[in-house]
Structure 1
């Protein structure tokens, strides 16, 4: 889908244009502009940590461990997730490619017995973690238009995934998210078994293997204590948290001075190790080794 894009003359052109749109009616366009122009790096990091939060849910990780997808095929599972969500974000969930990606995602989920509350919790992290990340580390926070658009976008995604009991407001979704974590975050060996290879995959994107021991505490510094306990990771020293968070805030201040992005970052056009020769939507998922 070719979304209209304004003339980009300043760092805030996309934000200012978004503010002229209707956050409900134009929610797909707003999410596309925000994620692919203003926040591609931060949006990706936020969704990585959103997915990571699901590993603290003790009742859900035994199934994830049993499938082996997050342990034996961690990189492919990551690539498949990014590509499926990228297809939907870039093309629209009612476009031919968006429908095909949604169908493929629903086919994969249908193979397993997953509770509605677990689906709803995962959906809530995809709404809330980008909002929280931009508040802490984005070069600007999300506007209220972007927050409303993100909630509406994932609400529509939830309907197309047949998730029940969807919240009516962003505030209701946040209450559910916080209460769910309070009730279901607790340590189990399966949590740690799933979280460890994903942590190592994230480290591998930035560091050679021999530097992973140095990098691990920096990853832990971005994770809150309840989730660290739930996945069996150590709590880093307070000074390291301050250093890591300060570094990301410094990055954000510098980023405000950068020239604006005039072409979108397309997640589907990036290079993915699992698909060196390109991919078809029908390939995405757990079927191929």
Structure 2
């Protein structure tokens, strides 16, 4: 027996297998270390609902450390889902911003949202890259950037007759879709602490946008969203116009001959209600199962084989360049702001410079008719 055991132990396959199992165990341990530390630090999962500073820390950890890829994908899906509401898609189609330059329109939207939400993670990344020293002046500037982005969003939205219900529906999806995608496809599900942080952060943003009657619990929000979905998600030709250009953008880095299959893949990840609203045919039988299985396999691979991220994945620039612009750390679908952008100029070209912002140490002051909230429109 001892001879057999010794022979097995000396076999290369056994040694490599043991090393592989040890590595998998180590990766899993390291991956859970960050969330376990947060759960010890904040044992009350409802604390983010009462403490916005805590909510930002947890949100930043979730979105830029733990799940940076699916967090962004889920927000893109949330935006895509709103295009199945005719009152939203008709406005987007009428402006012709989406159809004439979908890449810029998408990048502007994403960058404004990131400027509103990435401040905590920018500070963490700067501090880690610069030897642990916190740049207090840049921390204040992060707050200014957040406020300017909110003002800019309000200013841009103020030019269109957008219903409060559509604002709230979009906000609700920003809260719910990340948790849904992460719970279903990522390497671990979200915790109650993280879900409450998502809720708290977006409620804060929503109130700054002047959105009214925001449900204050996840259950209430889910019930409201389901009811709004059932009543307002329906087919309209404008839905197809916006969906088509968006899908073209999503597939722009794939070879042309793969685009028809790519459209089937996207359709496979939509609900029957959404496919109907977008006038999409049903995907081939089994494709949904294949795609969902692939995404779940990705999550398992990350859990056991990919070491945790050392630095938060931040897209917005850590500091302004010599032209007082912020250069994105990477470009997802194409280069729009290769030389950088000013937060107050994000949006359609016709609005560049139309909402000047005055900087003050204590924050910002909108000038020249730039509204401070939807309530001022």
Q: TM-score, normalised by structure 2?
A: 0.72
Quote how far apart the aligned CAs of 1:89 are: 1.4
Aligned residue number for residue 266 of structure 2: 219
Q: Is the 8 Å Cα contact of residues 106 and 161 (structure 1) preserved in structure 2?
A: yes
Q: Secondary structure at the match of 1:81?
A: helix
Aligned residue number for residue 18 of structure 1: 38
Task: Map 1:1-289 onto structure 2 (within 5 A).
Answer: 10-19=30-39, 20-21=41-42, 22-24=47-49, 25=51, 26-91=54-119, 95-205=143-253, 207-257=254-304, 258-268=306-316, 269-272=328-331, 273-287=335-349
The root-mean-square deviation of aligned C-alpha atoms, in Å, is 1.7
Quote how far apart the aligned CAs of 1:65 are: 0.4
Quote how far apart the aligned CAs of 1:270 are: 2.6
Q: Distance in 2 between matches of 1:189 and 1:251?
A: 36
Quote how far apart the aligned CAs of 1:267 are: 2.1
Unaligned runs of 5+ in 2: 1-28, 121-139, 317-327, 353-377
CA deviations 1:3-58 (Å, max 9, x no partner) are xxxxxx81112211332234331101111111000111010110011001101112
Unaligned runs of 5+ in 1: 1-8
Q: Secondary structure at the match of 1:139?
A: coil
Moved more, 64-73 or 89-98: 89-98
Quote how far apart the aligned CAs of 1:184 are: 0.8
Q: 1 or 2 for the larger relative contact order (CA 8 Å, sep ≥6)? A: 1
Q: TM-score, normalised by structure 1?
A: 0.93
Q: Is the 8 Å Cα contact of residues 35 and 43 (structure 1) preserved in structure 2?
A: yes
Quote how far apart the aligned CAs of 1:275 are: 0.6
